[in-house]
Structure 1
Amino acid sequence: MTGISALDRLANLAGIEDGWWDFFGQWRVVPPETKRVFLAAMGFPAATPTEVEASLSVLETRPWRRWIEPVRVLEEGSGAPSLAVALPVAADGQVFSWRLEEELGIVHTGRFRPADLGNGEVREVEGVVLCRRFLSLPALPPIGYHRLVLIGPDGTEAEQSLIVAPMRAYVPPVLAQAPGGWGIATQIYALRTQRDWGLGGYDALAELAEGAATLGASCIGVNPLHALFPNQPERFSPYAPSSRMFLNTAYIDIEAIPEFATCREARRLYAAPAFQAMLGRVREPGLIEYDTAARLSRPILEALFRAFRQSDDQAAFEAFRQAGGERARRFALFEALHERMIEAGTPYWRTWPEDLRRPDAPGVIRFAAEHGERIVFFQWLQFVADRQLGRAHRAGLDAGAAIGLYRDLAVGIAGDGGESWLEQDSLALGVSVGAPPDPLALKGQDWGLLPFNPLALSERAYAPFIAVMRANMRHAGALRLDHAMALQRLYWVPPGLPADQGAYVRYPVDDLFRLVALESRRNRCLVIGEDLGTVPDGFRERMERTGIFAYRVMVFEKENADRFRSSDRFDEQALAIFATHDLPSARAWWQGHDIDRREALDLYPRPGQADEERGQRAHDRVALVTTLVGEGVLPSDFPTTGDLADDRAVQLAAAAHAFLGKSRSRLAMVQIEDVLGLDLQMNLPGTTTQHPNWRHRYPQDVAQILADERLRSLAAGFSARNGRRNLSPSSDDSV
């Protein structure tokens, strides 16, 4: 076998695709060097022919060098399982046994001789002749996580995680049949209240959730709530988190912490004139100053923690710490260590001293022993955040929301954060996730996020993936999977190369879909897959079969060049919304301000493309008006040219939402910026600091938004569609 053919075979076995079709219809061949970089990131060196041959041998023989695979994910109703076992031919006549430990404690056992399993495939590995046969268990265990143990004649054991998943994910009753429900989507940081400290938080979310539910909303959608970088507040993108398994503590409502009312030290800091002056300034509408908000909150949080540790009310906190286990303790350990290393000028853990780069390294163990109380402080922050998020979810449910909070899961993590340090053996270090060129980002995108290593995931029985799902379904009735195609394949970008020089890497799609369905059912959590961009063949059909809702953005739903898709042609098992956080608001879209921004920032790959898009946008405005007029939700004399005046912007947004209310989609969402007729874009793809991404605040506070007649009118329309009464916030009845 030649070096290049061996490389191609190795890449194929690792799931690296040979090429991809770009948006312009051209087949892009993946060069050998890209394959070598990706393979190295997956733990298989391939820089030389010798390394390629060695890695290929390891990957091909790995299933033979162990008795049983580390994990098997099956689907309910698939019948008694038959599991591959690879055992030495020399042991054919010996007696092996197996033990199946069900999740609820029931144990099944059995015995067998390998020779009795029939003929199988034979292979010699490192001088040992092995035969792979199939062991049939008497029956499929129930849905859940089970443990299968294979025991040899000498007592040697091999273990497999045997997981049985439901065929379909959970769908709440409100969405199980027409007409479905509706909800309000927001960016939590954009929310304002009379007592926020410069950005929205969990208390503001609770106020919005309760008020929206009283108006008839089934859910309240929010941006990712993942842990960011409390010691680097300037890193505030919710889609580039330190960890997706823990919460953003910047959203803690400090005044809602019980100790705030009694802690003298905190009250003294709070009452200081300089503090009050700074607090008054950051509460104003406009752009968020994350670093200022952090400077305000950290000293008082530390004072409140000291007061808490002196109180007798520790039981709930200790139970929370126990439930979080070793992963939660290690994340808090990372936060404390990261804080110290930032002070030393080395924030990136891969540049730390060698004995600090892994959670179990000697230096880390010493640090933990010497800084135990600081680690507990970061655990306490998670405890407070978890409690406040739980209250926000409960506030919506108690007020009548059928779903409650609808959370968002980012597609990857920052390469220098806590999760990458904790889970480095499960990640593809040295590459990043992105997207090939598409209409949203014509030069392609490099999101700078680390992906899971698909080969390592199965080796760890998908434990990190399951942990991420569970963490984000906590205190939620729905979960959106950002870039849901990651369940099947991800576009990786080699370091230092343009985003259009990447390649797709396959993931164990059957297993991942089943695990999503299982955790969805366990947590009674609806799953919505954001299936925008380049979608693999059959992916949407798989989502449909699994009960995962699609994501239908109105401005992308066109039947032809002259008309948008009619409301009765929207997918039924879907969430429908006018736009997203990556798109301009309805008013900004109409006026083409997103095009102006991209042109000013040189985000178009060729000259003249901005003018082409302006021409297309003008055409789309006409098509949108034609569609809305045809649906009977917009008057026929609505203009299709010129800027939108305030009253016209409100009229357009109302018509678009009335259209969504008529659509077949079971869940319709409205964005606050569209309800209020605002001209803004929360995030401009392809930018970092060039655009004020994730910094906009709403001009009205939560109470004003809930009382706004535009929202109340919209709620009345949805409630009428859904056969529900539109109750006022003062009503004693529940929706």
Structure 2
Amino acid sequence: MSGSDALDRLARLAGIEDGWWDFFGEWRVVPPETKRVFLAAMGLPADSDEQVWASLKDLESRPWRRALEPVLMADEHSAPPSIAVTLPAEADEVEHSWVLEEELGIRHSGSFRPGDLRWGEEYQLDGRLIHRRWLDLPALPPCGYHRLILSGPKGPLAEMALIVTPPRAFVPEVVERGAGAWGIATQIYSLRSERDWGVGNYGNLADLAEGAAKLGAACVGINPLHALFPADPERFSPYSPSSRRFLNVAYIDIEAIPEFRECLEAKRMFASPGYQATLARLRGYSQIEYPDVMRLARPMLEVLNRWFRRTCMGDDNPRGQAFRAFQAEQGEAGRRFAVFEALHDRFARDGKAYWRQWPEEYRRPDSPAVEDFVLEHVEQVEFFQWLQFIADGQLAEAQARGKAAGAAIGLYRDLAVGIAGDGAEAWAQQDSLALGVSVGAPPDPLALKGQDWGLVPFNPVTLREHFYAPFTQVMAANMRHAGALRLDHAMSLARLYWVPPGQPADQGAYVRYPAEDLFRLVALESQRNRCLVIGEDLGTVPDGFRERMDRMGIFAYRVMVFEKLADGAFRAPEDFDAQALAIAATHDLPSLRGWWAGKDIDRREKLDLYPREGQAAEERAARAADRIAMAAALAGQGLLPAGFPVSPALTDTQAVALAAAAHAYLGRSASRLMMVQMEDVLGQELQMNLPGTTTQHPNWRLRYKADTAAILADRRMSDTAEGLRGNGRG
């Protein structure tokens, strides 16, 4: 085998695909240089032929160097599993033992001589003969995460995660009966009220959840709530988080914190003329100024935390006890996150925001220097834990209020596809990630030059070796206080498009993930948390992926403006996928009115986002045809008059009529869940995010003109809700 052949084999074993079909129908071969970069990010050096051979030997022999595989997945109600036991041939007659610890604490045990087990195969490893045999367990434990420990005469030899999974994800009854259910989709930061501090907050979300439920909505869909960067508030994209396991503290409703009502220092600060003037200015902006919001909020939060420590941390104080219980529940992961926040706070002031720029002794979470820092800065670390305690409590309150008001699902959360490489999760879980590369997307109609999202992916080579815990912990954290979860770019369960550092976004390659295992883990967490799962399956979708989603009970994501037939006509309502969520547009598209007017095309042309001359004109022509087709589809259902204008510009009345017709159309669809975007109902021209841009468009900063209470009371919203109820939804 030549060096190039060995490189190709190593890349395939690691999951790197040989090439991909681009949007224009051309096969793009992945060059050797890209493979070497990706392999290095997976911990498989491949800069030279010698390194390639060594990495190939390492990867091929790993299953023979360990007594147990890291993970065994078993189906609920299947036969008792057989465990592959891999030991040197000379151990055949040596007594060994095993212990199976079920998740709830029940223990099972047994002993065996390897030579007595059912034969498997053998392998020569470094001149030593290795035997693999099969250990048959007497019974299958229930659904959940269990641990099998193998021991020899000198003690434990290996540990395996035995994970038993259900056949399908959880699907709530409300989307199974009648015509299904509907919900309201929004962005939490866009919400307004008399109690926001320049950005929407968890209190606003609670008001919306309760009000939407009273209108008949089963759920309220929101943007990701992931932790961002408090020490660097310019980093405000909800899809580029510091950690997906913890919450964004910028959304804390400060006036709802119990200490705010009690602390005299906080009251004086809040009542001061300068504070009130700044607050009024921030509330009046049409776009969020995140640094100004944090400069106003941070000192107040510190004052309230000091008051909390002074008044609530006694042994007999229920609120203090609740905080300690929260710390214990969050465990080591919660503590490490808070430690990162404290370190990031310190070093960002010195211009060293990236943890790889910190002094070397702080770059690993388990270093002695980090432990010394924690001992010296206990109160600061606990301040960040307290912020999570507050945010978690307020999010729980939002879910509780929505459910109490009649929402069958409640909050519908969103999970970003990856994390920022300089954030808390990357620092805490360096061995589980492919540091040095980023996730993106090849060219598609939304971003014709491709996209580099700057997000760090899981390392598919080491994910199983960490018992899939990094993946399942993220899933569980985002199903907390929620009845539904959207997986942004759900294709990441099967493969991700990686981009080499410093290269254009169209120079990447696809990397495969253990799809079968990840799908089953999603189903397990879905059932455990009674949480509906919606997979955003837009863009380039691998063969068989949607069929697998359907089998596993994971809902598809159907966007009306993309639901067209080969002849350009829009799909009839009854032909929409049943196991799906239907919506008019998404946060990456303009509102329905903006789409009709081609505002997204105008913006992309102005910002030079088209890869070739004349493409904007082609898109305008296609959009004109789409307007005609949509008007015909809506008129065909009797929802718009036959003469509805198809020119780009609409009057306010026409925009509202278009939105009402589109929502009625989706309300009639076969999809079991449909969502209503507030900006569409109100006929506003908003686009929350323009893919392919950063500062060129006010991404993640736009706010609604009216507050939440006024929107819920708006006749257009109540008419939409009434129409959906009339179609049998809810």
> Residue 155 of structure 2 corresponds to which residue in structure 1?
155
> Residue 385 of structure 2 corresponds to which residue in structure 1?
379
> Residue 245 of structure 2 corresponds to which residue in structure 1?
245
Contact 1:148/1:160 (<8 A) preserved: yes
Q: How does 1:166-565 map to 2 (within 5 A)?
A: 166-312=166-312, 313-565=319-571
- SS for the counterpart of 2:449 is coil
- Give the TM-score normalised by structure 2: 0.98
Contact 1:285/1:699 (<8 A) preserved: no
> Residue 677 of structure 2 corresponds to which residue in structure 1?
671
CA distance in 2, matches of 1:250, 1:156: 46
CA distance in 1, matches of 2:238, 2:435: 21
Deviations 1:20-70 (A, max 9, x none): 111111111110010000000000100001111111111111111110011
> Residue 56 of structure 1 corresponds to which residue in structure 2?
56
Deviation at 1:389, TM superposition (A): 0.5
What residue identity is the alignment partner of 1:669? M
> Residue 728 of structure 1 corresponds to which residue in structure 2?
none
Deviation at 1:227, TM superposition (A): 0.2
> Residue 648 of structure 1 corresponds to which residue in structure 2?
654
CA distance in 2, matches of 1:118, 1:527: 40
Deviation at 1:285, TM superposition (A): 4.5
What residue identity is the alignment partner of 1:219? C
> Residue 626 of structure 1 corresponds to which residue in structure 2?
632
The answer to whether the aligner puts 1:91 opposite 2:91 as a matched pair is yes
The answer to whether the aligner puts 1:572 opposite 2:578 as a matched pair is yes
> Residue 117 of structure 2 corresponds to which residue in structure 1?
117
What residue identity is the alignment partner of 1:168? R
CA distance in 1, matches of 2:672, 2:393: 31
Deviation at 1:135, TM superposition (A): 1.9
- SS for the counterpart of 2:69 is coil
CA distance in 2, matches of 1:465, 1:446: 22
Sequence identity (%): 67
Contact 1:603/1:686 (<8 A) preserved: yes
Deviation at 1:377, TM superposition (A): 0.4
- SS for the counterpart of 1:659 is helix
Contact 2:36/2:46 (<8 A) preserved: yes
Contact 1:285/1:698 (<8 A) preserved: no
> Residue 729 of structure 1 corresponds to which residue in structure 2?
none
Contact 1:553/1:577 (<8 A) preserved: yes
In structure 2, runs of 5+ residues without a counterpart are 313-318
CA distance in 2, matches of 1:698, 1:46: 51
What residue identity is the alignment partner of 1:437? P
Contact 2:598/2:648 (<8 A) preserved: no
CA distance in 1, matches of 2:155, 2:222: 52
Deviation at 1:186, TM superposition (A): 0.4
Deviation at 1:515, TM superposition (A): 0.6
CA distance in 2, matches of 1:323, 1:497: 42
CA distance in 2, matches of 1:642, 1:232: 40
The answer to whether the aligner puts 1:639 opposite 2:645 as a matched pair is yes
What residue identity is the alignment partner of 1:662? R
CA distance in 2, matches of 1:155, 1:591: 71
What residue identity is the alignment partner of 1:701? D
Deviation at 1:415, TM superposition (A): 0.7
Deviation at 1:564, TM superposition (A): 0.5
CA distance in 2, matches of 1:642, 1:240: 34
Contact 2:88/2:131 (<8 A) preserved: yes
> Residue 607 of structure 1 corresponds to which residue in structure 2?
613
Deviations 1:602-652 (A, max 9, x none): 000000000000000000000111111112211111111140100000000
Deviation at 1:543, TM superposition (A): 0.4
Deviation at 1:326, TM superposition (A): 0.7
Deviation at 1:178, TM superposition (A): 3.4
- SS for the counterpart of 2:454 is strand
Contact 1:520/1:527 (<8 A) preserved: yes
Q: How does 1:691-730 map to 2 (within 5 A)?
A: 691-722=697-728
- SS for the counterpart of 1:564 is coil
- SS for the counterpart of 1:337 is helix
What residue identity is the alignment partner of 1:37? V
> Residue 315 of structure 2 corresponds to which residue in structure 1?
none
- SS for the counterpart of 1:145 is strand
CA distance in 1, matches of 2:341, 2:150: 40
Deviates more, 1:351-360 or 1:136-145: 136-145
Deviation at 1:450, TM superposition (A): 0.4
How many residues align structurally?
Answer: 724
- SS for the counterpart of 2:119 is coil
- SS for the counterpart of 1:314 is helix
Deviates more, 1:146-155 or 1:438-447: 146-155
CA distance in 2, matches of 1:546, 1:120: 32
Deviation at 1:99, TM superposition (A): 1.8
Contact 2:337/2:425 (<8 A) preserved: yes
C-alpha RMSD of the superposition: 1.0
CA distance in 1, matches of 2:116, 2:723: 68
CA distance in 1, matches of 2:640, 2:560: 16
CA distance in 1, matches of 2:252, 2:265: 19
Contact 2:413/2:482 (<8 A) preserved: yes
CA distance in 2, matches of 1:632, 1:109: 68
What residue identity is the alignment partner of 2:359? P
CA distance in 1, matches of 2:368, 2:47: 32
- SS for the counterpart of 1:156 is strand
Contact 1:147/1:159 (<8 A) preserved: yes
CA distance in 2, matches of 1:293, 1:348: 23
Contact 2:149/2:156 (<8 A) preserved: no
- SS for the counterpart of 2:311 is coil
- SS for the counterpart of 1:83 is strand
CA distance in 1, matches of 2:542, 2:91: 45
Deviations 1:305-324 (A, max 9, x none): 01111113311101101111
Deviations 1:530-569 (A, max 9, x none): 0000000000000001000000000000013331000000
CA distance in 1, matches of 2:346, 2:648: 55
Q: How does 1:40-79 map to 2 (within 5 A)?
A: 40-79=40-79
In structure 1, runs of 5+ residues without a counterpart are 725-735
- SS for the counterpart of 1:595 is helix
- SS for the counterpart of 2:155 is coil
Deviation at 1:98, TM superposition (A): 1.8
Contact 1:494/1:502 (<8 A) preserved: yes
CA distance in 2, matches of 1:276, 1:71: 56
What residue identity is the alignment partner of 1:159? E
- SS for the counterpart of 2:565 is strand
- SS for the counterpart of 1:301 is helix
- SS for the counterpart of 1:559 is coil
What residue identity is the alignment partner of 1:593? K
Deviations 1:655-706 (A, max 9, x none): 0000010000000001111011001100000000000000000001001000
Equivalent of residue 657 in structure 1, options 644, 650, 663: 663
Deviation at 1:723, TM superposition (A): 6.2
CA distance in 1, matches of 2:386, 2:175: 37
- SS for the counterpart of 1:134 is strand
CA distance in 2, matches of 1:307, 1:107: 46
